[in-house]
Structure 1
């Protein structure tokens, strides 16, 4: 039995526990409460709150896991910014949803943002019932969750799919979402009848075989996972070095080179804990690393986070990045994963994996006149993203605008 199937069985057992104990969570949250008729929302005390513990038992979203959220708090948040987890139950006390927010200052006022910080690929709040809510019910759920956090002037979130890996989330039924001009890509490793995908038949496989032969000319090609902390440290150092050289050549900024971000990602790959959420995989020719893949695992989903390739010119004809990503796909299939998530972005190589591309949505609302700059900024971002798609030559100028915006306290996205 694979590690993935074992985790899935534990999740099923824990789901039954939620059904048994769910009514108790109504009494375990913090005092800040919002009652919107159908739903009661509460601001939780953190990842140790009993509601969160129950919610995590069936969680299949890495960005809602306690290890991920604890690492965010430890490495990326500082006062006055803080994590704000909102748990929602129905009138009978049954758990309905969990919303991960950041309460932070922006434009001089306090705003509520869906957890992002440039390190979260999806805002897809946890949802516990089997069937998604109607648009009217979702609106009521949303109102209750926002009201549970006091003293805010605007609320916003982005990178929300309609379904997350084929499963509804708390905002699946929302009719107030706006297309954000961005997409994500996932590949199911299971056919509808439950049989496994033959990765040798994926369109890119033939090209990868040809490229691998070129790499073999430089030495035996191997692919391995970092399984000790020494190996993790070496892989992280190589990944950072590769990305620093790559983005320097491009004349672009890479957020992953921020020391706080590096520490955040390193902490999630710690091999001193059981089943760490992050994996580091290295493609080598001989003894020389030519590509690193950093990804997150959560139950039966692997999410590609940060690939990096060597800037060595003699390896370029072998496309080590493409070979490494395909080899990661094969590794996922062998390990029993259900989904290979190529994540956010529309880079051309993703289409060669025969994967599904889906639209992402966003939402912003000013809750007072002081929150209006949040909605204006969002409208400008959408316009700039459309320009970047329609006129690719504007990319360099948009990068410069993004850097200027950061100095002014605006979101890079």
Structure 2
């Protein structure tokens, strides 16, 4: 709901575009606490974004280079980025950036997070680690809403409760609700050599030790990091091959079936060679890769984003658990303090001893079409969650999906 007593003005800002090129005027609205300014170009907010990224609080999923790749490669035709800058109404100091997008979907307009399926978390960039309250978050969101174009619905999922230990203002909104998604992770500290023994469950530590010894009997076991474009091409190519093979076997869809998504991840990994924001690792045994892990890193946190493994390479060994366990040690060697296992209720996460946190969502329909679409999406998501919670039902669904994919030529 918009906050009462808003002052409206149209402002032209220096957006850093080349001489002779101008962006459309920015809409600025104000309430007693905050002003909001709408930008429809990443270039217009680049300096502020990079400052918040460097000195403020954000997740690796909101790195400028990551989002720049989304806009360049993944946004649907006709979609428009909506970057909202929130400022203090008294001092004018920038406080927050909220990256959204407007797109058409089944004959209606939806505003959602600027993600296109490659951001696990929807979290604004904050100027600093100052505390937010439910009241201040609601007022700031009112300012955000006041500058956004009309739409049939909002659909923002994957909202974490915190951003680097700071309360996420989006999660404090009264209209959010718990989603069916849970994220898992482990706080890591101390000696890298003993990080698994000290922080993971004994059963996992025992299993990891057995698997590692089995691997060592097959030859040299090496954790290799892609440090050049050629190595990214090689290791990422294996990730795509292993992952698509595994997902076909399970009868599950994967975004990596889309060429644009593959190109996005590959290019982000190559770009990450210069700033370290993306890391790509492979676990090599006797000269062959048996597992690959794609990581994002920022502000003391390692995000385990994409994992792929050749489950048939070594009998009675879990290559996925082997590479994750080894990477936790690497993370401590690099002085990281949190290992994020990403979104999903896979059993191995609790088996390791990771702690879960439910993500929230902000999903509302504002027109008849918007409400119908919101209700349909909610039903689909909860049906999927129910099926995944029932192993027998899940097995039946996966068999059906495998048969359907085979009938379509293995896609």
Q: TM-score, normalised by structure 2?
A: 0.84
Partner SS, residue 209 of structure 1 = helix
Q: Which moved more, 1:140-149 or 1:198-207?
A: 198-207
Match of 1:55 among 31, 41, 52: 52
8 Å contact kept, 1:59–1:65: no
Partner SS, residue 317 of structure 1 = coil
Give the distance between the partners of 2:212 and 2:227, measured in 1 at CA: 24
* Structure 2 CA distance for partners of 1:272 and 1:347, relative to 1, 3 Å: closer
Give the distance between the partners of 2:356 and 2:311, measured in 1 at CA: 29
Indicate whether 1:33 and 2:32 are aligned: no
Deviations 1:270-305 (A, max 9, x none): 158522421111111110111111111123211011
Indicate whether 1:72 and 2:70 are aligned: yes
Indicate whether 1:303 and 2:303 are aligned: yes
Give the distance between the partners of 1:78 and 1:235, measured in 2 at CA: 28
Give the distance between the partners of 1:289 and 1:281, measured in 2 at CA: 10
Indicate whether 1:135 and 2:130 are aligned: no
Which residue number corresponds to residue 225 of structure 2? Answer: 225
Which residue number corresponds to residue 117 of structure 1? Answer: 116
Deviations 1:346-388 (A, max 9, x none): 1111113322211111111223334222321243134314422
Which residue number corresponds to residue 332 of structure 1? Answer: 331
Task: Report the aligned-residue RMSD.
Answer: 2.8
Which residue number corresponds to residue 159 of structure 1? Answer: 158
8 Å contact kept, 2:58–2:124: no
8 Å contact kept, 1:208–1:326: yes
Which residue number corresponds to residue 406 of structure 2? Answer: none
Give the distance between the partners of 2:389 and 2:273, measured in 1 at CA: 46
* Structure 2 CA distance for partners of 1:392 and 1:336, relative to 1, 3 Å: same
Deviations 1:90-141 (A, max 9, x none): 2121222211112111121221002332211111112335443332332222
Report the alpha carbon displacement of residue 28 of structure 1 after superposing the two structures with TM. Answer: 5.7
Partner SS, residue 281 of structure 1 = strand
Deviations 1:134-187 (A, max 9, x none): 323322221221232213221120111211342222224222211112200111
* Structure 2 CA distance for partners of 1:299 and 1:236, relative to 1, 3 Å: same
Partner SS, residue 332 of structure 1 = helix
8 Å contact kept, 2:29–2:147: yes
Q: Which structure 1 residue ranges, 4+ long, deviate > 6 Å from structure 2?
A: 194-197, 397-403
Give the distance between the partners of 1:402 and 1:81, measured in 2 at CA: 31
Q: TM-score, normalised by structure 1?
A: 0.83
8 Å contact kept, 1:300–1:338: yes
Which residue number corresponds to residue 277 of structure 1? Answer: 277
Give the distance between the partners of 1:382 and 1:312, measured in 2 at CA: 32
Give the distance between the partners of 1:401 and 1:365, measured in 2 at CA: 32
Partner SS, residue 133 of structure 1 = coil
Give the distance between the partners of 1:66 and 1:371, measured in 2 at CA: 30
* Structure 2 CA distance for partners of 1:26 and 1:400, relative to 1, 3 Å: farther
Which residue number corresponds to residue 168 of structure 1? Answer: 167
Deviations 1:50-77 (A, max 9, x none): 4324322324411211100111011111
Partner SS, residue 166 of structure 2 = coil
Which residue number corresponds to residue 83 of structure 1? Answer: 81
* Structure 2 CA distance for partners of 1:236 and 1:33, relative to 1, 3 Å: same
Which residue number corresponds to residue 21 of structure 2? Answer: none
Which residue number corresponds to residue 46 of structure 1? Answer: 41
8 Å contact kept, 1:107–1:373: no
Which residue number corresponds to residue 409 of structure 1? Answer: none
8 Å contact kept, 2:195–2:328: no
